[in-house]
Amino acid sequence: MTTLLNVDNVYKSYGSLPVLKGISLTVEEKETFAIIGPNGAGKTTLFRVMTGEVLSERGRITYSGHDVTGKSAHDRVQLGMGRTFQVARVFPEFTVEENIIVAIEARLRSRSERPLPWYRTRPGSSVREEAGALLQDLDLWSKKATEAKFLSHGDKKRLELGIALAGKPQILMLDEPTAGMSPSDRIATTELIIRLRAANAMTVVMTEHDMDVIFGLANRILVMNQGEMIAIGTIDEVRANPIVREVYLGKEMYGADG
Amino acid sequence: MAPIDLLFTVLNGLSTGMAVFLVAAGLTLIFGILKILNFAHGAFFMIGAYVAYSIIGSNPSSLWIFILAALVAGVVVAALGFVADRIVLRRLRNVDEAYMLIATFAVVLICSGVVKLIWGVNYASVNPPPLLDGAIAAGPLFIPSYSLFVIVAGFVVYLALDIAIHRTWIGKLLQSVANDGWMSGLLGINVPFALTSTVVVSFMLAGLAGGLLLANQTLSPILGESYLLLAFMAVIIGGLGNVRGAFLASVLLGVIESGSSLLIPNMPGMATYVFVILFLLVKPQGLLGGHRI
Amino acid sequence: MKIINAVLFLACLAVMFTVPLWADQGILFIAGLVLVEVVFALSWNLLFGFTGLASFGHAAFFAIGAYLCGYALRAGIGAPFLLLILAAGVAGAVAAVLTGMVLLRRTTGIHLAIFTLALAEILRILVGYSTALGREDGLASIPRPSLELGFASFNLASGEAYYWFLCLAATVIAAFLWLVCHGPFGRILVSIRQDPERTTFMGINVPAYRLAAFTISGATSGMAGALYAPWAQIVTPESAHWIHSTQPMLASLLGGAQSFWGPVVGTVLFSIINYSTRNLVGLSELVIGAVLLVIVLAAPSGVVGLVRELRRRLSARVSQTGPGTEGKVGPKGKLVQEAA
């Protein structure tokens, strides 16, 4: 298996406050990698550094063979990185269908797969078909003409996932995909990600708080605390790590075994 | 260019700067607390000037009447401000920036229209009151007394505001509302009261400025414009919402403006605009940036 | 719905083209000015309503085009008029690119507003200072050109002839802007307006798109200026004054900034108000100010938005369709309406 994403000894401070102190990880193709840690651990910052929202001060990030350390976010997206946001960000004035159409058109324009004629005011039929298929996959087809601002939270999250998927990413970065969801929504989202992941052969990197979601989805985990790496490895390896237990998982997870 | 010219330029600049500050003070206050950039400020300045003019005419009989007229203008405009707050500003608190600018600009148009309808488009000029119509000799320099008056007035207003904001309970109230209105509300602070009083004070300052600066220029419906533009720039350069910053920036801009008329008299205002652009490119958050007043 | 729209549209076009037949010289002149300001407003709104950038100094582009054209026509250098218009567009574009590169990377919102305002004022001062450009008095007695098309030549000296040319030119530029706004490029601009960050994460280089929009806007404003110069036959530094910059703003908001046709509706309404209140000084400002205030506070999507809302409610009552299948506010509405 080839390494798709390589984060090498990354540092990041906000002003005088160090938030990331030397984080390194690799993500293999087709695997699902999760990043967990208590609040303030630096998960979000690491996520931002990987996606290009902020730039690191030290260290390198290599994606798909390219050195993307200094590259802007949109460059990384064009190379195949897709992402979602913790608080679902969709385009409120567009309808559900338009949200996806715009995402598909953005992909076509930026990757020049098939340069779009600038004067084409109605999205082409192939774009519509693709949008339609994606919406059906996400179970949003019935709501395609609703303006996104009227959607429920769960629907917004799925639409957001749709926007990311419309970019046909090679690696999908999910920022707390089940944040703020009810338990049933959580399960539904997990199943959705499993299905889409298999269908599109995607590599997934996610930050999460909910351990059940992690156990259901992830192959390998990185545990962070206060900007440092506590443990990295498969689920079982991490579970067995005593430091991790102490810092994060808590003894309640293991019942009487402590 | 003799050193005396330089000195005169600086003094002139100081006077202009204080005049700008008198206008900018209310503007920055309203922005710091309500986060509204109030284009209408210039219009209320103009109304204040017209109100004061109505009281004292072209030849004010004494200094005290002059000051009194300015105070009355302040009160009248404050009352108008109260009304404007109820009708307009209240609704602007959560609106997009551009819409807010347009709405306040609409208020400008309304004020300008009303002024034209009531007072007509004719220009009028007001002479400085006795005591201020001469010049004071300081060594080789002749300083117009009126300019000194403006400088003193500017300082007085600044000190009053600074003390009020940083040392009184109402100032602390405003500071906390400026920092976090929602939180302040939770702590039991009467936020609507704070907001309304800010508006009222801000407009009072505008009206007062209109009255005080009356003898400085010709009275016409476009009066508000040149001062407003400078005041806006002073507010932004000073750091939006910061009174001290606005003060410093006003003085700075005043001196630059004054120097500009000395060095390149054919291109009025050019140096100021260039300075503003360069400054904002280098330090967009302003001199003493941040939202606190 | 589409038929009503089409009929209305054609009716407006018809009215526009036939003005010289039923109006006196005074009204004809105003109608020509309206056409120029419509192009200016559409050009400004591409930036504001679609991309979300408020430029407060757009009159500078207009003035650049106007002065370029006016100067060239007065100097009698014999360049074809169409070429002059294109040159004005290029000049506007160049000015936009230069300023946009500096500004757009760092500033948006209020800072951009003040920047563009300051830059426009600088231009105005420079122009007012230049003797070659007539200083404060500007360039007067600009001759109306003749249109050389190789196979035919049209003398545009008369009011009617130039007016019809204005109609054509305005229609062509408006059509171009319509295509830009309604194609994939325009849709991306609207995404940028709604959520620039999300758009970045769709792989779009947001600053580049903003710059492109700014450039197109600058170019078309310059062309509007070039169309203006021979019509008014005088160009003064007032064309670059910030008050002129506010006109497309007011028009767009009055008509509805988030619709393509809003600026058109707004400019026309604006002119009507101005004309009908011209006798009482101050009344026009009062009325316009009051109307604008009402719009911003009560109907931020302008006249067009109100009309659309009205239609939606009427047709929702007639046919019991669900929400969102008829008249939505905003250019995005067109996307799905056709499919329904």
Spell out the domains of chain B, with CATH numbers in brackets.
8-135+143-282 (1.10.3470)
Give the β-pairing of A58-63 and A81-83.
unpaired
CB contact under 8 A, A74 and C182: no
Which residues of chain C make contact with B284, given a CB cutoff of 8 A? 106-107, 111
Q: How far apart are CA C323 and CA C321, in angstroms?
A: 7
Judged by DSSP in three states, C139 sits in: strand
DSSP A202-242: -EEEEE-S-HHHHHHH-SEEEEEETTEEEEEEEHHHHHH-H
Chain centroid offset of residue C260 CA: 10
**Which among B88, B221, B240 is the nearest to C293, CB-wise?**
B88
CB contact under 8 A, C122 and B273: yes
Chains A and C: how many Cβ contacts under 8 Å? 117
**CA–CA distances in Å: residue C40 to residues B11, B277, C26, C183, C270:** 44, 25, 21, 20, 14
Domain around C161: 25-242
In a domain, residue A115? The reply is no
Closest CA to C62 of C91, C86, C83, C84: C91
Q: Which residues pair with B136 in a beta bridge?
A: B143
CB contact under 8 A, B113 and C129: no
CB contact under 8 A, B95 and C282: no
For CA atoms B232, B236, B239, B245, give the dihedral sign. Answer: negative
**CA–CA distances in Å: residue B56 to residues B64, B68, B73, B211:** 11, 10, 11, 10
Residues 6+ apart with CB under 8 A from B276: B233, B236, B237, B253, C114, C118
Q: What is the pLDDT at residue C66? A: 94
Give the β-pairing of A171-175 and A81-83.
parallel
**Distance spanning both ends of chain C, measured CA to CA:** 12
Least confident segment among A77-81, B139-143, B233-237? B139-143
**E strands, chain B, in order:** 124-125, 135-138, 141-144, 218-219
Task: Say which DSSP state A147 is in.
Answer: B
In a domain, residue C37? The reply is yes
Q: How far apart are CA B131 and CA B129, in angstroms?
A: 6
CA distance A171 to chain C (A): 13
Q: How far apart are CA B183 and CA B189, in angstroms?
A: 9
Q: How far apart are CA B147 and CA A248, in angstroms?
A: 69
The count of structural domains within chain A is 1
Q: What is the pLDDT at residue A252? A: 43
Judged by DSSP in three states, A32 sits in: strand
Encode A32-64: b = buried (16+ Cβ within 10 Å), e = exposed: bbbbbbeeebbbbbbbbbbbbbeebeebebbbb
Instruction: Enter the ipTM.
Output: 0.86
CB contact under 8 A, A91 and C197: no
Token pair, residue B237, equals: 């350069």
- Quickly tell me which residue has 């939770």 as its tokens: B186
CB contact under 8 A, A98 and C332: yes
In a domain, residue A112? The reply is no
Q: What is the pLDDT at residue C331? A: 38
Residues 6+ apart with CB under 8 A from C49: C193, C252, C257, C258, C259, C262, C263
Which residues of chain C make contact with A53, given a CB cutoff of 8 A? 197
**Distance spanning both ends of chain B, measured CA to CA:** 40
Least confident segment among A34-48, C135-149, C219-233? C135-149
Q: How far apart are CA A195 and CA A218, in angstroms?
A: 14
Q: Which residues pair with A58 in a beta bridge?
A: A11
Judged by DSSP in three states, A23 sits in: strand
Q: Which residue of A has its CA nearest to C334?
A: A122
Whether residue C256 contacts residue C301, with contact meaning beta carbons closer than 8 Å, is answered with: yes
The amino acid present at C121, given as its one-letter code, is E
In a domain, residue A107? The reply is no
Mean pLDDT of C226-242: 90
Give the β-pairing of A203-207 and A220-225.
unpaired
**CA–CA distances in Å: residue A78 to residues A105, A212, C113:** 13, 32, 32
Closest CA to B272 of B17, B2, B60: B17
**Which among A73, A102, A164 is the nearest to C191, CB-wise?**
A102
Q: What is the pLDDT at residue B276? A: 82
Q: What is the pLDDT at residue C96? A: 93
Which residues of chain C make contact with A89, given a CB cutoff of 8 A? 195, 197-198
Token pair, residue C129, equals: 């200072």
CB contact under 8 A, C201 and A83: yes
- Evaluate whether chains A and B are touching (3 or more beta carbon pairs less than 8 Å apart): no
Chain centroid offset of residue C204 CA: 26
- pLDDT at C157 exceeding the cut of 70: yes
Mean pLDDT of C37-46: 96
Residues 6+ apart with CB under 8 A from B278: none
CA distance B64 to chain C (A): 33
Whether residue C193 contacts residue C51, with contact meaning beta carbons closer than 8 Å, is answered with: yes
Best of C176, C177, C180, C198 to mutate (most A CBs within 10 Å, chain A): C198
The count of structural domains within chain C is 1
Taking only residues 127 to 156 of chain C, the set having a beta carbon closer than 8 angstroms to any beta carbon of chain B reads 129
In a domain, residue A191? The reply is yes
Whether residue B284 contacts residue C111, with contact meaning beta carbons closer than 8 Å, is answered with: yes
CA distance C127 to chain B (A): 10
Mean pLDDT of B153-173: 83
Give the β-pairing of C146-148 and C153-155.
antiparallel
Q: What is the pLDDT at residue B292? A: 53
pLDDT tens across B76-88, in order?
999 988 888 787 7
pLDDT tens across C161-207, in order?
889 899 999 999 999 999 999 988 999 999 999 999 999 999 899 99
Q: Which residue of B has its CA nearest to C103?
A: B281
Tell me whether C249 touches chain B (CB under 8 Å): yes
Mean pLDDT of C218-224: 96
Q: What is the pLDDT at residue B223? A: 61
Rounded to the nearest 5°, which phi and psi values hold at B292? -75, 150
Chain centroid offset of residue B78 CA: 14
Domain around A77: 3-90+151-257
Q: How far apart are CA C278 and CA B116, in angstroms?
A: 13
- pLDDT at C334 exceeding the cut of 50: no
pTM of the shown model: 0.83
CB contact under 8 A, A118 and C183: yes
Task: Say which DSSP state A81 is in.
Answer: E
Rounded to the nearest 5°, which phi and psi values hold at B5? -65, -40
Confidence category of residue C91, pLDDT binned at 50, 70, 90:
very high
CA distance C92 to chain B (A): 20
Each residue's pLDDT tens digit in chain A (258 positions)? 688 888 888 888 888 888 888 888 889 888 999 998 887 788 888 999 999 888 888 888 998 888 888 888 889 998 889 999 988 889 999 999 999 999 998 888 877 655 566 666 677 788 889 999 999 888 888 888 888 989 988 888 889 999 999 988 999 999 988 887 888 888 888 888 888 888 888 899 999 888 888 888 888 999 888 888 888 888 888 878 888 777 665 544 443 343
Residues 6+ apart with CB under 8 A from B169: none
CB contact under 8 A, C336 and A98: yes
* Residue B240 Ramachandran class (φ > 0 left, ψ -120 to 50 alpha, else beta): beta
CA distance C267 to chain A (A): 25
Tell me whether C12 touches chain B (CB under 8 Å): no
- pLDDT at B140 exceeding the cut of 80: no
Taking only residues 183 to 212 of chain B, the set having a beta carbon closer than 8 angstroms to any beta carbon of chain C reads none
Q: What is the pLDDT at residue B151? A: 86
Taking only residues 206 to 225 of chain C, the set having a beta carbon closer than 8 angstroms to any beta carbon of chain B reads none
- pLDDT at B198 exceeding the cut of 70: yes
Number of Cβ atoms within 10 Å of the Cβ of C29: 15
CB contact under 8 A, B280 and C113: no
Q: Number of C-alpha atoms within 13 angstroms, CB side, residue C228? A: 31
- pLDDT at C329 exceeding the cut of 50: no
CB contact under 8 A, C125 and B117: no
Which residues of chain C make contact with A119, given a CB cutoff of 8 A? 179, 183
In a domain, residue C179? The reply is yes
Supply the CATH number for residue A32's domain: 3.40.50.300
**CA–CA distances in Å: residue A42 to residues A46, A179, A237:** 6, 17, 22
Q: How far apart are CA A120 and CA A97, in angstroms?
A: 17
Tell me whether C195 touches chain B (CB under 8 Å): no
Q: Which residues pair with A27 in a beta bridge?
A: A5
Token pair, residue B131, equals: 């005591």
Averaged pLDDT of chain B: 79
Number of Cβ atoms within 10 Å of the Cβ of C173: 22
DSSP C274-340: HHHTTTSTTHHHHHHHHHHHHHHHH-TTHHHHHHHHHHHHHHHHHS---TTSS--SSTTHHHHHHH-
Taking only residues 236 to 265 of chain C, the set having a beta carbon closer than 8 angstroms to any beta carbon of chain A reads 258
Tell me whether C143 touches chain A (CB under 8 Å): no
